Amino acid sequence: MKTIRIANGAGFLGDWLDAPRRLVARARVDYLTIEHLAELTMSILARQREKDPGTGYAEDFLDILRSLTPALKAQPQLKIVANSGGMNPQACASAAGKILSEAGLGDIAIGCVAGDDLLPRMSELIAQGCEFTNLDTGERLAGTPQGADAPRSPMGAVRSSAPKSEIRNPKSEIVSANAYLGARPIADALTAGARIVITGRVADASLTVGPAMHEFGWRWDDWDKLAAASVAGHLIECGAQVTGGYSVDWQDYELADVGYPIAELTDDGGVVITKPEGTGGAVTRRTVAEQLVYEIGDPRHYLTPDVDCDFTAVEVEDKGSDRVRVAGSTGRPATDTYKVSLAYRDGWMASGMLLVYGSDCREKAEACGQIILKRCELAGYPLAHTNVELLGFGGGVPGAWFWRKFQTPGELVLRVTAHDPRREAVECFARQFAPLVTSGPAGLAGYATGRPQVRPVFAYWPTLVPKSLVTPQVDVRPAKECFS
Amino acid sequence: MTHGKTIRVGDLASARSGDKGNHANIGVVAKDEDAYGVLCSRLTAVRVQTHFQELGVTRVERYELPKVLALNFVLYDALGGGASRSLRIDTQGKLLGTSLLDLTFHANAWEDNDQ
């Protein structure tokens, strides 16, 4: 029976940079996946690309690739599949090609998967009848025929009290719109000889399904096999979260050298989740079950572009020695739409913190919060949305009742946040923290970290697009030909 | 009313939470089949919604995964606008799982008045 080993070395952009190198140094794997894109990472990358057309991808990937060049030389079986291309997979492939060429690996083929970026095509897609209805709220996008007179367009949806004039043309307000592509273009790139595959927005699980389809030659309508590979992909996509990371049993695990996960897939659809020998963390029934239900909705329908998976059919069997067998996955035909992650501009936000000390810290922190907001009003900037949190006194989960049984602590962190359509209003807000040190109550510290940063807000608009209107693009070429 | 033993969800299960847009989910994984049985009968969607009432949760849906002894709770509109728009420190609902583990109920169901 043929077995392939697919590992994951990053669960989000910002994950442990050294994890991929440490992983392939201690375990022989066929594929290393790198998952760099969360729901809103695309809009952040889109904004980077707006400022500099040569950017807009996860630059962490280049550091990871540099750290992997010795392994790529020593382990001919090792391939990499990464969605680090973000908003600009071509630029990422080009930079990767340069790194590989400089390391003497210019003949390695890089596959670039694109076609997920719908932003340049919004007018055309709307003209073809796409309504881009918000999956969560049912609202229609302004600018679509039915949404033209809708009271709540993207800008309006945020703040129903916003003056009509603020509801600008959504085509200029939308920052990014990306379809979640599936496993097929990844499998195509591998079949065309790519050893490194760099994609834009691809569904997380598809990073694992692509290699499985390429290796096993399963049919694209073998739904149970697609489901098995998707479950494996879902389990490893968040890195160490399936190997003991972010666990309530944290005291039981050595996490400093936590092992990142490996999925062993066999051509009959079998899956075993494990990790490199001698690493920290653990793979048990519970770490796997916790990750199975992580960030899912209805477990009977875990939808990917490749298949509709039934997670309630999944069985998990602890084989000991950090090996957990995952079986029973069943799938139904994939839907005829791609999920689209769309982001639009939604004003500005800033958040500041101060340490408030003393037996009266609770009342004092609340007073400081009110002083900050009152001074914004005095400056002529009443803020649209604000929040005052007392961290250390239950602010992490407002209202959760168990905090009420605790006494007021002797110190807490005051955190005040403001969100407003006007950048200048939020700038004004950010300037109100430091002055409290001389003009507020006694017992404040922590202002030395500087003025809170004012950042643009990109709101999230989940929607769908018919698969028939999106064509994934695959470009495979030697690393040395990826850049000029 | 007699006061019997209280049970903490954390004694029966582990939990992990995360975001889907403005909604959050909490996966609760029972320690064994007995614990799963207790959680199925006692950790209702209503109980979870009450626990997180002040977050503005509009609806809680509970799904059962008996083969892996897990419950999945989907908390609608729990995240104050979602990852990028939320004004809270926990923009993605990462703390909700840990918070749910501190929920307690009486060992005898009839002693719980909030069922």
Query: Percent of chain A at pLDDT above 70?
Result: 92
User: What gap in Å lies between CA A29 and CA A32, rounded to an integer?
Assistant: 7
Residue B1 lies in a domain: no
* Residue B39 C-alpha, separation from nearest chain A C-alpha, in angstroms: 15
Q: What percent of chain A has pLDDT over 90?
A: 82
User: Does a structural domain hold residue B48?
Assistant: yes
pLDDT exceeds cutoff 50 at A250: yes
DSSP 8-state code for residue A194: -
What pLDDT score was predicted for residue A440? 94
pLDDT band at A128 (very low <50, low <70, confident <90, very high): very high
Answer whether residue B115 is part of any domain: no
A410 within 8 A of A437, measured Cβ to Cβ: no
The type of residue at B58 is T
d(CA B24, CA B41): 22
| Mean pLDDT of the region A114-129 | 94
Q: Is B103 helix (H, G, I), strand (E, B) or coil?
A: coil
Q: Is residue A112 domain-shared with residue A214, that is, in the same domain?
A: yes
What is the Cα Rg of chain A in Å?
25
- Using CB atoms, pick whichever of A288, A346, A391 lies closest to residue B89: A391
Q: How many residues does chain A have?
A: 484
> Are the beta carbons of B64 and A387 separated by less than 8 Å?
no
pLDDT higher than threshold 60 for residue A158: no
Distance of alpha carbon A469 from alpha carbon A447, whole angstroms: 52
- Across the range B105-115, mean pLDDT stands at 68
The verdict on A110 touching B (C-beta cutoff 8 Å) is: no
pLDDT 10s digits, A297-328: 999 999 999 999 999 999 999 999 999 999 99
Residue A171 falls within a domain, yes or no? no
Q: What is the pLDDT of residues A12-21, one digit of tens each?
A: 999 999 999 9
Residue A142 lies inside a defined structural domain of this protein: no
| Residue A444 in tokens | 């404040």
pLDDT confidence of residue A144: 64
- For residues A419 and A282, state if they share a domain: no
Look at residue A404 and tell me whether its pLDDT is greater than 90.
no
How would you classify residue A14: left for phi > 0, otherwise alpha for psi between -120 and 50, otherwise beta? left
Question: What is the SS3 assignment for A239?
Answer: helix
Residues A406, A426: one domain?
yes
Residue A393's pLDDT is 86
Q: Do A295 and B70 touch (CB under 8 A)?
A: no
How far B33 CA lies from chain A's nearest CA (Å)?
Answer: 13
**DSSP assigned state of A123:** H
State which residues form the domain around B18.
Answer: 6-80+92-110
DSSP, res A407: P
Same domain, residue pair A326 and A395: no
Of B15, B82, B88, the CB nearest to A460: B82
Q: Report pTM.
A: 0.92
Decide: residue A194, CB within 10 A, 0-12 exposed, 13-18 middle, 19+ buried.
Answer: buried
What does the block give as tokens for B64? 């059962």
The mean per-residue pLDDT over the stretch A440-464 comes to 90
The answer as to whether B103 is a domain residue is yes
Quick one: A306 and A360 in the same domain? no
Exposed (0-12), middle (13-18) or buried (19+): which is A261, by Cβ within 10 Å?
buried
Q: At what angle do helices A206-216 and A184-191 cross, to 10 degrees?
A: 50
What residues of A are in contact with residue B105 (Cβ under 8 Å)? none
Q: Which of A387, A480, A392, A469 is nearest to A121 (CA)?
A: A469
Contact predicate B72/A293, CB 8 Å? yes
Q: Between chains, do A314 and B72 touch, taking CB under 8 Å as contact?
A: no
Residues A297 and A444 in one domain: no
CA-CA distance, B112 to B104, in Å (whole number)? 10
- Number of domains forming the structure of chain A: 2
What 8-state DSSP symbol labels residue A144? B
The answer to whether the Cβ–Cβ distance between A294 and B16 falls below 8 Å is: yes
Quick: pLDDT tens for A30-80. 999 999 998 778 888 988 988 899 999 999 999 999 999 999 999 999 999
Domain at B40, CATH number:
3.30.70
The torsion of the CA quartet A458, A206, A271, A298, rounded to 10 degrees, works out to 50
For residue B73, being part of any structural domain is answered with yes
A353 and A330 part of one domain: no
Q: Across the interface, do A401 and B51 touch by the CB < 8 Å criterion?
A: yes
| Position B87 in a domain | no
For residue A466, being part of any structural domain is answered with no
Q: In terms of C-beta density within 10 A (0-12 exposed, 13-18 middle, 19 or more buried), how is residue A182 classed?
A: buried
Q: Which residues contact B44 (CB under 8 A, 6 or more apart)?
A: B62, B115
Q: Which of B19, B27, B67 sits opposite A315 (nearest CB)?
A: B67
- Residues A351/A417, Cβ–Cβ less than 8 Å: yes
Tell me: do A455 and A374 sit in the same domain: yes
Confidence of residue B3 (pLDDT cuts 50, 70, 90): low
Q: Do A314 and B67 touch (CB under 8 A)?
A: yes
List, in sequence order, the alpha helices (H) in A217-283: 223-236
For chain B, the domain total comes to 1
Nearest-CA neighbor of A45 among A62, A57, A30?
Answer: A57
Predicted pLDDT of residue A163? 33
Q: Mean pLDDT, chain A, as a whole number?
A: 91
pLDDT, greater one: B6 or A280: A280
- Is A278 among the domain residues? yes
pLDDT tens column, B29-55: 999 999 999 999 999 999 999 999 999
Q: Is A175 helix (H, G, I), strand (E, B) or coil?
A: strand
User: How confident is the model at residue B111, as a pLDDT?
Assistant: 64
| A residues 282-311 lying closer than 8 A (beta carbon) to B | 285-286, 288-300, 311
Same domain, A227 and A314: yes
User: What pLDDT, in 10s, does the model give residues A202-237?
Assistant: 999 999 999 999 999 999 999 999 999 999 999 999
pLDDT at A196 over 80: yes
A112 and A199 together in one domain: yes
| Domain housing A252 | 3-116+180-335
In this structure, is residue A465 part of a structural domain? no
Structure tokens at B82: 């979602």
User: Does B115 have pLDDT greater than 50?
Assistant: no
The residues, any chain, with a CB within 8 Å of residue A395's CB and separated by 6 or more, are A389, A412, A415, B89
Residue B52 lies in a domain: yes
Per DSSP, which regions of A358-437 are E strands? 385-391, 411-420
Tell me whether residue B30 is in a domain. yes
Where is the domain boundary, A295, A318, A335? A335
For residue A411, being part of any structural domain is answered with: yes
User: What angle (nearest 5°) sits at the alpha carbon of residue B22, between those of residues B19 and B23?
Assistant: 60
Task: Kindly state whether residues A255 and A192 are assigned to the same domain.
Answer: yes
Query: What's the pLDDT score for residue A151?
Result: 32
Q: What are phi and psi of A81, to 5 degrees?
A: -125, 115
Q: What is the DSSP letter of B44?
A: -
The torsion angles phi and psi of A242, rounded to 5 degrees, stand at -100, -5
3-state secondary structure of A8: strand
pLDDT score for A314: 97
Contact B74 A385 (CB under 8 A): no
Poorest-pLDDT segment among A192-201, A406-415, B98-107: A406-415
The CATH number of residue A420's host domain is 3.30.70
Query: What is each CA distance from A50 to A56, A57, A118, in whole angstroms?
Result: 8, 12, 15
The verdict on A218 and A71 lying in the same domain is yes
